Structure 1
């Protein structure tokens, strides 16, 4: 299953990295900009294709991912939402990506990977330039109290449920 993109968006070369998703027209706060598509697979199945399809996946449960099945499916599945420590897109539920505030035409749509990535092995350097830039982004950033407050209501359901489990 392919990902869905709002007709108000387009993929193109990004000044952040590689390709990004951009607003072709103004997007209102709360508007859905993309819905993640792909095959649902367990960790073992994902491990077999990870090197071919990453970073086109999102984790939706402890042992489940939505990802392209093959390298040929990456283009129709990858969202091209680059990371920023000052994002304008968050998650509603598991697979819907929404504008966190009004986004003017021409803007790149970005997400803080802390909203969707809970894999402790993930680590990348960040040079987004935002005053709140963390410099190093990890799969454990979703646990930071400041980010939990800042992005309340915009974490994936999977990570939101992990917050609740942490409190128990």
Structure 2
């Protein structure tokens, strides 16, 4: 499979046990707002690579029109980002996570999974314990449709979600929006 590039993690980050769940990423020195934290790669590919991975039984995720990722086995520590409903990082493109605000040394790096999760059938098997006043409790593949989240994270979802939001507009509160797949393409339905 064609790889797009290798993964890079800021030298200001270490991976260790997390009180949230499993392993997590932690700042080992202060990180400025908008500073690059991670540039994901390795398991990113084009559409042909994603189809090949899917034929091998691997899960795939679409980040932009022609950018996909697929499950890899082995050490996946660079994907050890735990969820928070008030995260300290967000996306700047299909590969890059940047600091949403200043992150203090020893703080855990967190992301809201709404930034990239689009599987309408996804409902987290765990309850969120982020402790934020913004905590949603349950995380789903439809959270990106929430108008408050669209406004809070404007421009910092995955490029694919940003395009969907721009296409349907932010004023979706109260409307039912669904995505269905036809011939491998996600189609927006609005009712």
TM-score (norm 1): 0.85
Higher helix share: 1
Q: 2:117 and 2:83 mapped to 1: Cα distance?
A: 11
Equivalent residue pairs, number? 159
* Distance of 1:82 and 1:157 partners within structure 2: 21
Q: 1:12 aligned to 2:16?
A: yes
Q: Could you list the runs of 5+ residues in structure 1 that have no partner in the other structure?
A: 51-56
Match of 1:134 among 128, 136, 149: 136
**What whole-Å deviation, never above 9, does each CA across 1:130-167 have from its counterpart, x for those lacking one?**
11110110011001000011111321111100112223
Contact conserved, 1:86 with 1:130, CA < 8 A, in 2?
yes
User: Aligned equivalents of 2:62 and 2:156: distance in 1?
Assistant: 15
Matched, 1:75 2:76: yes
Q: How does 1:19-30 map to 2 (within 5 A)?
A: 19-30=23-34
**d(CA) in 2 for partners of 1:62, 1:17:** 31
Q: What displacement does 1:42 show?
A: 2.5
Change (3 A) 1:140 1:154: same
Q: Name the SS for the 2:114 alignment partner.
A: helix
Higher Rg: 2
Cα distance in structure 1, aligned partners of 2:123 and 2:52: 21
1:27–1:105 CA contact under 8 A, matched in 2: yes
Runs of 4+ off more than 4 Å: none
CA-atom RMSD, angstroms?
A: 2.2
Residues 43 and 111 (structure 1), Cα distance of their counterparts in 2 relative to 1, 3 Å cut: farther
Which residue of structure 2 lines up, in the alignment, with residue 33 of structure 1?
37
Does the CA-based 8 Å contact 2:64-2:158 persist in structure 1?
A: no
Cα separation, 2, equivalents of 1:46 and 1:165: 28
